[in-house]
């Protein structure tokens, strides 16, 4: 790997941006284990793709994405633009993720991931294959190469998978690039071995449920599926509406992209709200394809949240003004692996007091040193390196954010923010 060191920006807060919340620096403490009734959302910093591991109030575990870009060769992107693998390149990103999850599996249950939710079929979200054939490492379950979520499943069993493509993986065109073929071989093997796979159902509020509490034990915990393949929750019951034109009205070159087809969800726990929308964006081809602003549509369906994952890693075509103004989160979290994560316009929007006039904090799992030079306002964000853990107190009335070391497996706390108080929001709007 290159010799560039990642700037340890954690706590890059300046006097000018200090809000009422105090960041307490702790150098020797480690993250306390999850406790029953709390909700933990771990944004794991591998420098190689998105991954969020959730421990729900009743011990239900959810994994949203498990990306893994190889050190070389895949996906037409040059290594020099990428963030170095974290903690290092001695293991594959998916192996580091599995080890992280094993450390944070809640006590009192069998280690397993109840739900794996794939936002869309790109390597930085599901795991990419190594196109240099001499390094292929195959699963012991057979038929597919180990990477990303497949590496996780090799160590910790996944019970159910939800994605945008099952069962035919054919919208808007057959999903058959080498990475997608590998993932589909994994799905086929997973099904043969008794796993359950479903298409992510836009509009549903009971496809993802708590599984380890008695019926009705946590009525205030609801995962609302907002969107998949351009179908967006209408806000009425489980109803969803098509927002993409039918394909027969589009030129092939204008078909919805893989990113635009991302799934999005809003998790509610008491008055706490969390938004996650994969890589959806707002690119309308200069107004020619107005339906392309899918992220604005989805953000309006969501309404305000406390914590939002930045769409598309904060890239130039995502986190637009309408998305920011509709979600108005107290905290943004960017999952970064490239020198353009985040870009200047996306960060400007996230920081804009014109779009909403409340305080907000921004956290990135990692930053490329070159980006810190190019994107000057990165000095205004709270953290630029480390795992970002959102810990919501039982009942959902407040939450804290802890940054832990991504250099090793110590879970040492680098900085803490909050508590932030959640306020009652109407569920829709």
Residues forming contacts to Zn ion in the complex (CB under 5 A) are 124, 279
Q: How far is the CB of 93 from Zn ion (least distance, A)?
A: 13
Taking the least distance from each CB to Zn ion, the nearer of 58 and 124 is 124
Taking the least distance from each CB to Zn ion, the nearer of 76 and 290 is 76
Taking the least distance from each CB to Zn ion, the nearer of 105 and 129 is 129
Residues sharing a CB contact under 8 Å with residue 41, sequence separation 6 or more, in sequence order: 52, 53, 54, 274, 307, 389, 390, 391, 392
Taking the least distance from each CB to Zn ion, the nearer of 335 and 405 is 335
Q: Which residues pair with 272 in a beta bridge?
A: 269
Q: How far is the CB of 118 from Zn ion (least distance, A)?
A: 12
Residues sharing a CB contact under 8 Å with residue 228, sequence separation 6 or more, in sequence order: 164, 199, 200, 201, 202, 261, 262, 263, 264
Q: Judging by DSSP bridges, how do beta strands 231-233 and 240-242 pair with one another?
A: antiparallel
For the chain, give the longest Cα–Cα distance: 60
Q: How far is the CB of 407 from Zn ion (least distance, A)?
A: 23
Q: How far is the CB of 402 from Zn ion (least distance, A)?
A: 24
Any idea what the Cα angle at residue 366 is, between residues 362 and 372, rounded to 5°? 80
Q: Measured between alpha carbons, how far is 121 from 259 in angstroms, rounded to an integer?
A: 9
Q: How far is the CB of 299 from Zn ion (least distance, A)?
A: 18
Residue 216 tokens read as: 């009705």
Q: How far is the CB of 124 from Zn ion (least distance, A)?
A: 4
Would you put residue 185 in left (φ > 0), alpha (ψ -120 to 50) or beta?
Answer: alpha
Q: Measured between alpha carbons, how far is 67 from 159 in angstroms, rounded to an integer?
A: 19
Q: Measured between alpha carbons, how far is 74 from 129 in angstroms, rounded to an integer?
A: 7
Q: How far is the CB of 259 from Zn ion (least distance, A)?
A: 7
CB 258 within 8 A of CB 250: no
Taking the least distance from each CB to Zn ion, the nearer of 282 and 391 is 282
Taking the least distance from each CB to Zn ion, the nearer of 124 and 411 is 124
Taking the least distance from each CB to Zn ion, the nearer of 280 and 392 is 280
Q: How far is the CB of 264 from Zn ion (least distance, A)?
A: 14
Taking the least distance from each CB to Zn ion, the nearer of 21 and 338 is 338
């Amino acid at each position: 790997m290159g010799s560039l060191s990642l700037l340890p920006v954690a706590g890059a807060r300046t006097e000018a941006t200090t809000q009422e919340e105090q960041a307490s620096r702790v150098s020797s403490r480690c993250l306390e284990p999850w406790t029953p009734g709390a909700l933990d959302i771990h944004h794991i910093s591998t420098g190689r793709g998105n991954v969020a591991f959730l421990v729900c109030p009743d011990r239900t575990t959810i994994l949203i994405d498990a990306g893994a870009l190889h050190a070389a060769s895949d996906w037409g992107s040059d290594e020099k633009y990428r963030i170095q693998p974290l903690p290092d390149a001695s293991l594959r990103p998916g192996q580091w993720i599995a080890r992280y999850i094993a450390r944070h599996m809640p006590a009192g249950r069998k280690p397993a991931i109840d739900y794996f939710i794939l936002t869309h079929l790109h390597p930085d979200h599901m795991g990419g294959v190594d196109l240099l054939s001499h390094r292929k490492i195959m699963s012991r379950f057979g038929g597919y190469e180990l990477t990303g979520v497949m590496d996780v499943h090799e160590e910790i069993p996944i019970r159910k998978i939800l994605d945008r493509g099952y069962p035919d993986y054919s919208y808007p065109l057959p999903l058959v690039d080498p990475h997608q073929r590998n993932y589909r071989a994994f799905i086929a093997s997973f099904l043969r071995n008794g796993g359950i796979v479903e298409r992510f159902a836009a509009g549903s509020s009971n496809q993802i449920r708590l599984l380890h509490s008695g019926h009705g034990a946590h009525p205030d915990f609801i995962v609302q599926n907002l969107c998949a393949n351009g179908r967006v929750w209408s806000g009425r019951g489980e109803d969803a509406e098509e927002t993409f034109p039918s394909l027969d009205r589009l030129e092939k070159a204008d078909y919805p992209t893989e990113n635009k087809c991302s799934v999005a969800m809003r998790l509610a726990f008491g008055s706490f709200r969390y938004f996650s929308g994969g890589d959806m964006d707002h690119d309308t081809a200069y107004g020619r394809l107005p339906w392309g602003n899918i992220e604005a549509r989805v953000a309006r369906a969501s309404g305000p949240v406390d914590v939002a994952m930045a769409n598309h890693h904060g890239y130039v075509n995502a986190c637009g003004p309408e998305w920011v103004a509709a979600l108005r989160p107290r905290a943004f979290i960017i999952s970064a692996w490239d020198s353009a994560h985040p870009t200047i316009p996306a960060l400007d929007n996230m920081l804009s007091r014109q779009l909403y006039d409340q305080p907000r904090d921004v956290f990135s799992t990692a930053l490329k040193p070159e980006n810190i030079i190019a994107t000057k306002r990165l000095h205004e964000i709270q953290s630029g390196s480390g795992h970002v853990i959102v810990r919501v107190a039982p009942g959902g009335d407040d939450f804290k954010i802890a940054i832990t070391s991504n250099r090793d497996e110590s879970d040492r706390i680098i900085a803490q923010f909050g508590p932030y108080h959640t306020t009652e929001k109407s569920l829709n709007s």
